[in-house]
Amino acid sequence: MKISGAEIFIQSLKKEGVKHMFGYPGGVVLNIFDHLHDEKELQLILTRHEQGAVHAADGYARATGKPGVVLVTSGPGATNTVTGIATAYMDSIPMVVFTGQVPTMLIGNDAFQEADIVGITRPCTKYNFLVKNVEDLAQVIKEAFYIASTGRPGPVLIDLPKDVTTHKAEFVWPEHAKIRSYNPTYEGNKYMITQAAHMIAKAKKPVIIAGGGVILSGASKELKEFAEYTDVPVTMTLMGLGGFPGSHKLSLGMLGMHGTYYANKSIQDADLLVAVGMRFDDRVTGKIDAFAPHAKIIHIDIDPTSIRKNVRVDVPIVGDVKKVLSTMNKVMKDEVKEQWQEVRKAWLKQISAWKAERPLEYDRNADVIKPQFVVEKIHELTKGDAIIATEVGQNQMWAAQFYKYDRPRTLLSSGGLGTMGYGLPAAIGAQLAFPNKLVIDIAGDGSIQMNIQELATAVINKLPVKVAILNNRYLGMVRQWQELFYQERYAHTKLDETVPDFVKIAEAYSAVGLRATKRSEVEPVLKEAFSIKRPVMMDFVVDWREKVYPMVPAGAAIDEMLFREEEKKSEKKLKAVR
Amino acid sequence: MRHTISVLVENKFGVLSRISGLFSGRGYNIESLSVGETIDPQISTMTIVTTGDDWIIEQITKQLNKLVDVIKVIDMTELDHVEREMVLIKVAPRQEDKAEVLRLAEIFRGRIVDSSQKTYTIEITGDEKKIAAIVELLRPMGIKEFVRTGKIAIAREGVKKA
């Protein structure tokens, strides 16, 4: 029996095991929405902006590992997804985005709500399709999910002209998606792995850098086994946090621009780096010529283009991180532990000394609320058992520094693109997947206003996300740069009296609003928020002067860090500005 | 260094823009690009001439390979291969140069494919050096128009000794 494209769409998603998607209706997708109206197994969450829908699907994907699914209309509906798609693309998040399109006969005619979304998203999707024939629809959907979730994952877009959703065809679900031109490499080269194992055994000062690939491939267990057997300390990129337990004795926390002193020192002193599922982003390496000057580099990544893109690599291993590490763990057993135990002790002792010399710090006795204190309290009260989403800027860096992520898929943050407004919708997506988990968006007063409308989505769908706004009345990270590098000329970063009353905003959306203005109020506010089974927005009025330290200025080597004590010199000037 | 890269791709709409978008988006040069169907109409060959140091060429090849529609990437520069390009040159020589233009066309095994009172159009096929040479020789005679196909390339097969 022939069924319509809209029905094929729904049947195909069910075959893919999709339970939830996020979206927004419009003219050309009405046929699909009409069919969704009576649908029981497939739930569409209506967001209040298409960007919110994509970030929510992204958060859902990061928290679960399953591809996020989005359905929006043509034209503005489609173009509004672009930031979300680019966000997912930069961080390799599996996602399938369906956009409506004007009927095939009108394509190219500048029809109402027409946009060439396939053209627009070509550079920020892993792949995209324009379906011209309803007979192709099921095959295209199968291939889209396959491409999105295999190899280095990423977003895939399917453009669906309106007539394709009404035309009828037999529904034949393809068993396999085989694409002759798409064959990711999963197994690492055995010779290279053996060579790497040998180098690790012989190294005196090795460091593992774990990136988002560890989480994407589900390799946390293998990584832990590897690090523990070889006694190699592990530092993580922002995307890698949670890939290795943050509270583990071998953990060095995050490296890079706002990385820990000891992570950056270790990298610069290391004689061997084992880079696992990461891509040597400029925020990680700092000045590339001065990065890890003494180290040989072993680089494991599923994407060959990541290897030798930014840094020289001595042993490249193309493959799935989980598979490579599990082979590596077997091969490693051939190397006797005794050969490195002594040298490793000395290395770990050196690292302990760096840890003691400069731990992550802030004024823990201040009466004003220090933003780091809020993050630490969140960690303490949740015992690390929460899903944390972040916005972008200072809030994101403090969330990365002062919360210890012990499990993968517990930090949702826009790393590559750095998208403000990501956190709230991402938290909503994660909450939908895990209704009983505590999901907290650590936000800034700037970022939260970029997708604040999604509070409505949380309220109406009874998704009890918590938003902790570290409110400093500034676009804090930009202000920090202006303070340090632009002679304190705060061009367009002072929000001040224009910052809305977040408690009232929460209440206007029928969520709960809470506020803390003193340190002593932080814990009660958090406890109250966590006990309420509804969305809560917490306004923490924090010390506006607080900055993220350590900091590597852009273009400097990663051991050329700025620390808090350098701030005191300019404090007088700061007062004058205020 | 200049590289000639042969790329086998799925013959679908949008593939050309994926390839050209990759080059423009990542700031690589394209000196020439020619596209045509292979014997299998589902597959096209793109011959791309590009320049860059070893790092850049390695990235270009890897990035091309990463595109979903790309079946195979061959850096011809690393192989023994034959390169050809065709040009059409419209020359408007002075009366006294006309014989010289015809003589040059013959020397370069070109063909006159069109002529008028004032112009000859010459078709020349050859490798880069040959085309550069005839262009230099014809330039003083007055080249009115000039079009080229972009390079195509094919690997040589080894010959076994009898």
Q: Which long-range contacts (CB under 8 A, 24 or more apart) does B127-133 make?
A: B127/B83, B127/B84, B127/B85, B128/B83, B128/B85, B131/B85, B131/B87, B133/B108
Does the N-terminal peptide bond of residue A550 adopt cis geometry, omega within 30 degrees of 0?
yes
Q: Structure tokens of B142? A: 């007055």
pLDDT at B159: 82
Handedness of CA A214, A215, A216, A220 (dihedral sign): positive
How many CA atoms lie less than 13 Å away from A124 in the CB half-sphere?
18
Determine the Cα–Cα distance for residues A364 and A342; give it in Å rounded to an integer: 37
Q: How far is A101 from chain B (nearest CA, A)?
A: 17
Q: Per-block average pLDDT, block size 10, for chain A (578 residues)?
A: 97 97 98 95 97 98 98 98 98 98 97 97 98 98 98 98 98 93 96 97 97 98 98 98 97 98 98 98 95 98 96 97 97 91 96 97 94 98 97 98 98 98 98 98 98 98 98 97 94 93 98 97 98 98 96 94 76 45
- Give pLDDT, residue A575: 47
pLDDT of residue A221: 98
pLDDT at residue number A409: 98
- Whether residue A101 lies in the annotated active site: no
Q: Residue A576's pLDDT is what?
A: 43
Mean per-residue pLDDT, B127-152:
95
Q: Check: CB of residue A33 under 8 Å from CB of residue A62.
A: no
Query: Could you give the dihedral angle defined by the CA atoms of residues A112, A116, A120 and A124, in that order, rounded to the nearest 10 degrees?
Result: 110
CA–CA distance, A293 with A460 (Å, rounded to integer)? 54
Secondary structure, 3-state, A342-380: HHHHHHHHHHHHHHHHCCCCCCCCCCCECHHHHHHHHHH
Q: Where are the alpha helices (DSSP H) in B3-127?
A: 15-25, 54-66, 98-107
Taking CA–CA distances from A116, the nearest residue in chain B reads: B14
The pTM (predicted TM-score) of the whole model is 0.95
- Cα–Cα distance for residue pair A554/A570, rounded to 1 Å: 20
Model confidence pLDDT, tens digit, residues B55-78: 999 999 999 999 999 999 999 999
The answer to whether A122 faces chain B, any CB pair under 8 Å, is yes
- The alpha-carbon gap from B10 to the nearest alpha carbon of chain A, in Å, equals 8
Residue A385 neighbours by CB distance under 10 Å: 11
CA distances A318 to A276, A313, B108, Å, are 11, 12, 49
Q: Are A471 and A543 in contact (CB under 8 A)?
A: no
Residue B9: strand pairing partners: B44, B70
User: At residue B24, what is the residue type?
Assistant: S
How far is residue A179 from each of residues A184, A216, B67, measured CA to CA in Å?
11, 22, 12
Locate the DSSP E strands across A278-356: 296-301, 315-318
pLDDT 10s digits, B17-70: 999 999 999 999 999 999 999 999 999 999 999 999 999 999 999 999 999 999
Residue A100 is encoded by which pair of tokens? 């409506």
Q: Is A119 on the interface with B (CB under 8 A)?
A: yes
A118 contacts chain B (CB < 8 A): yes
pLDDT at A577: 42
C-beta neighbour count of B19 within 10 angstroms: 22
pLDDT score, position A567: 67
Angle, CA of A70, A75 and A80, to the nearest 5° = 50
Which residues in chain A are contacts of B71 at CB distance < 8 A?
180-181
What span, in angstroms and rounded, lies between the C-alpha atoms of B21 and B67?
A: 11
Q: Name the residue among A123, A127, A305 with its Cβ closest to that of B62.
A: A305
Task: Say yes or no for a CB contact (<8 Å) between A304 and B59.
Answer: no
Say which of B14, B59, B68 has its CB closest to residue A147.
B68
Cα nearest neighbour of A318 on chain B? B62
Cβ neighbourhood burial of A165 (10 Å; 0-12, 13-18, 19+): buried
For residues A540 and A469, the answer to whether their CB atoms sit within 8 Å is yes
Q: B21: which chain A residues are within 8 Å (Cβ-Cβ)?
A: 122-123
pLDDT at A569: 57
Of A147, A303, A308, the CB nearest to B55: A308
Q: Find the catalytic residue in A105, A112, A170, A330.
A: A112
Q: Is B70 helix (H, G, I), strand (E, B) or coil?
A: strand
pLDDT at A566 (0 to 100): 74
Would you call B71 and A308 a contact, using CB atoms and an 8 Å cutoff? Answer: no
- CA of B70, closest CA in chain A: separation in Å? 6
Give the Cα separation of A410 and A430 in Å (integer): 9
- How many C-beta atoms lie closer than 10 Å to residue A202's C-beta? 14
A304 CB within 8 Å of a chain B CB: yes
Tens-place pLDDT, residues A406-457:
999 999 999 999 999 999 999 999 999 999 999 999 999 999 999 999 999 9
Residue tagged active-site, from A7, A14, A19, A113: A113
Q: What is the pLDDT of residue A167?
A: 98
pLDDT at A572: 46
Helices (H), B119-162: 128-142
**Burial (Cβ within 10 Å: 0-12, 13-18, ≥19) of residue A491:** exposed
Say which of A181, A304, A309 has its CB closest to residue B69. Answer: A181
- Give, as one character, the DSSP assignment of residue A259: -
Residues contacting residue A427 through CB under 8 Å, at least 6 positions apart: A59, A387, A389, A412, A439, A440, A441, A465, A467
Mean pLDDT, chain B, integer = 95
Distance from CA of B80 to the nearest CA of A (A): 25
Q: Mutating which of A122, A185, A305, A309 best tests the B interface, going by the most B Cβ atoms within 10 A?
A: A305
Nearest CB partner across the interface for A118, out of B9, B14, B55: B14
A323 in active site: no
Alpha-carbon distance B149 to nearest alpha carbon in chain A (angstroms): 26
A113 catalytic? Reply is yes
- Residues contacting A571, CB < 8 A, separation 6+: none
> In sequence order, which residues have a C-beta less than 8 Å from that of residue A370 and are 6 or more positions away?
A362, A363, A364, A519, A542, A543, A546
pLDDT of B16 > 70? The answer is yes
